A = this chain, B = another copy of it.
Amino acid sequence: MTQPFVAPRRLLLGPGPSDVHPRVLGALSQPLVGHLDPAFLALMDEVKRRLRSVFRTANELTFAVSGTGSAGMETCLVNLLEEGDEAIVFVNGEFGRRMCDIVERCRARVVAIEIPWGRAVEREDVERALRKTSHPKLVAIVHAETSTGAQSPIADLAPAIARSGALFVLDAVTSLGGCPVEIDAWGVDACYSGTQKCLSCPPGLSPVTFGPRALEAIRRRKRKVQSWYLDVSMIEKYWGAERVYHHTAPISMNYALAEALRVVEEEGLEKRFERHRQNHLAFAAGAEALGFRFVVEPARRLWMLNSVYLPRLADGHDEAKLRRRLLDDYSIEIGGGLGAFKGKIWRVGLMGESSRREKVLRLLEALETILRDAGVEFRPGSAVAAAEAAA
């Protein structure tokens, strides 16, 4: 008989997935029921209700897409766009770029507003873009750019989008559950997220929410949505009162998401946000003591994703080898750079269950050793001391 699979025990401090609460793993291993079982239908209702609460929305159509965060991105765009529509997409990192790619696959016209990687999308960027474009159907922004660590000030820029009359699509993959996401207060028409970031649930589902204006746009479509699997007008009949069979939902993953949302609710959103903020500040103080330099200006840094330039390493050392040593010797995962930042930065995720004081300190201690071995100079113990002083 083959040996059962035993996963290594990692400390997950990369750009996601994050550490999962033991209660969520326990929910995953509950026995399976059918996708139309009354017990499962009740669980779906619970997921919808709890998702509304973390999204801070009253949107009826709030549910989990049966795919990962990118499937949620595609769901929002393919349902709202048709051939010939125009969409403004702000591109300040990898995920804005991905949205442009999907918009083009919808045969819609994309107006890509390029912003240097590492900078947030600001109100002025939005106002300028809207002045130049006649009547876009949709404006899309990434709230928390996981590829750069920048957070765009949505409360500040949302009114400009509202005045334009365009639909507002927000990527909240990395922000949801780690910092305020205010779907209704910000006037967001469609939003998608992932489960494996600040919700601390394994990857496999994408929470989404659609407001009344988005639904109206879907009802007025001339052609069917190009994806059958992601067609919201069909999926809503399964997640809604009709319970019409569409596809078989990933049952176990929904168990896990429900449990993860319970954990979030028990802690309380405000307390959870504050925990993310404190641990970010502690890590930032420690990292700067080691010679790391942040990519993003202080006011726009994400609490859950710290992007940093490395201090200068001695010859023969490189960032990829250091990350590999962190994984092999300390069982800690952190992320490297994507796209323009490949080989240049590290991305340290402090998301959900991974955003814990003791985990920040464990990382900083490990970094002290491997950086010293790579020829970086700093006062021993200074990183941990700075982190402890910061909070």
Residue numbers in B under 8 Å from A32 (CB-CB): 7, 10, 12, 17, 19-20, 196, 202
Residue numbers in B under 8 Å from A28 (CB-CB): 25, 28-29, 252
How many angstroms between the C-alpha atoms of A246 and B203 in the bound complex?
14
Tell me which of B10, B204, B228, B247 contacts A250 (CB under 8 A): B204
Across the interface, do A253 and B255 meet the contact criterion of CB distance under 8 Å? no
Residue numbers in B under 8 Å from A84 (CB-CB): none
A31 within 8 A of B: yes
**Nearest-CB distance from A116 to chain B (Å)?**
22
User: Which of the candidate stretches A61-69, A181-189, A287-295, A303-311 sits at the interface with the other chain?
Assistant: A61-69
A35 within 8 A of B: yes
Across the interface, do B10 and A20 meet the contact criterion of CB distance under 8 Å? no
Across the interface, do B33 and A74 meet the contact criterion of CB distance under 8 Å? no
Given A203-B251, A226-B227, are A333 and B34 neighbors across the interface (CB < 8 Å)?
yes
**A contacts, CB < 8 Å to B:** 1-2, 4-10, 12, 14, 16-17, 19-20, 23, 25-35, 37-39, 43, 66-71, 74, 78, 98, 101-102, 104-106, 194, 196, 202-204, 224-230, 245-253, 255-256, 258-259, 262, 265-266, 327, 333, 338
Residue numbers in B under 8 Å from A8 (CB-CB): 31, 33, 37, 39
Across the interface, do B71 and A203 meet the contact criterion of CB distance under 8 Å? no
Which of A31, A74, A252 is packed against the most chain B CB atoms within 10 Å?
Answer: A252
Which residue from chain B places its CB closest to the CB of A23 in the assembled complex?
A: B4
Residue numbers in B under 8 Å from A255 (CB-CB): 5, 7
Across the interface, do B69 and A247 meet the contact criterion of CB distance under 8 Å? yes
**9 pairs across A/B with beta carbons < 8 Å?**
A4-B259, A5-B259, A17-B34, A32-B202, A34-B333, A66-B204, A67-B229, A203-B251, A226-B227
Residue numbers in B under 8 Å from A12 (CB-CB): 32-34
Since A10-B31, A204-B251 are in contact, a sample of 14 more A-B pairs with Cβ atoms closer than 8 Å, ordered by chain A residue number, is A4-B259, A7-B30, A7-B33, A9-B31, A19-B32, A26-B29, A33-B333, A66-B68, A68-B248, A68-B249, A69-B248, A70-B246, A70-B248, A105-B224
Given A66-B68, A202-B252, A338-B245, are A10 and B34 neighbors across the interface (CB < 8 Å)?
yes
Across the interface, do B251 and A202 meet the contact criterion of CB distance under 8 Å? yes
Given A247-B69, A250-B68, are A5 and B202 neighbors across the interface (CB < 8 Å)?
no
How many angstroms between the C-alpha atoms of A258 and B68 in the bound complex?
19
Tell me which of B1, B31, B224, B226 contacts A25 (CB under 8 A): B31
How many angstroms between the C-alpha atoms of A61 and B73 in the bound complex?
25
**Nearest-CB distance from A10 to chain B (Å)?**
5
**Nearest-CB distance from A322 to chain B (Å)?**
16
Residue numbers in B under 8 Å from A98 (CB-CB): 228
How many angstroms between the C-alpha atoms of A198 and B131 in the bound complex?
57
Given A66-B71, A203-B35, A228-B70, are A30 and B17 neighbors across the interface (CB < 8 Å)?
no
How many angstroms between the C-alpha atoms of A38 and B324 in the bound complex?
10
How many angstroms between the C-alpha atoms of A262 and B1 in the bound complex?
9
Given A71-B229, A229-B71, A252-B202, are A26 and B4 neighbors across the interface (CB < 8 Å)?
yes
Which residue from chain B places its CB closest to the CB of A103 in the assembled complex?
A: B228
How many angstroms between the C-alpha atoms of A14 and B70 in the bound complex?
31
Residue numbers in B under 8 Å from A19 (CB-CB): 32
Across the interface, do B39 and A196 meet the contact criterion of CB distance under 8 Å? no
Residue numbers in B under 8 Å from A102 (CB-CB): 228
Given A23-B4, A228-B98, A327-B37, are A204 and B10 neighbors across the interface (CB < 8 Å)?
no
**Nearest-CB distance from A94 to chain B (Å)?**
9
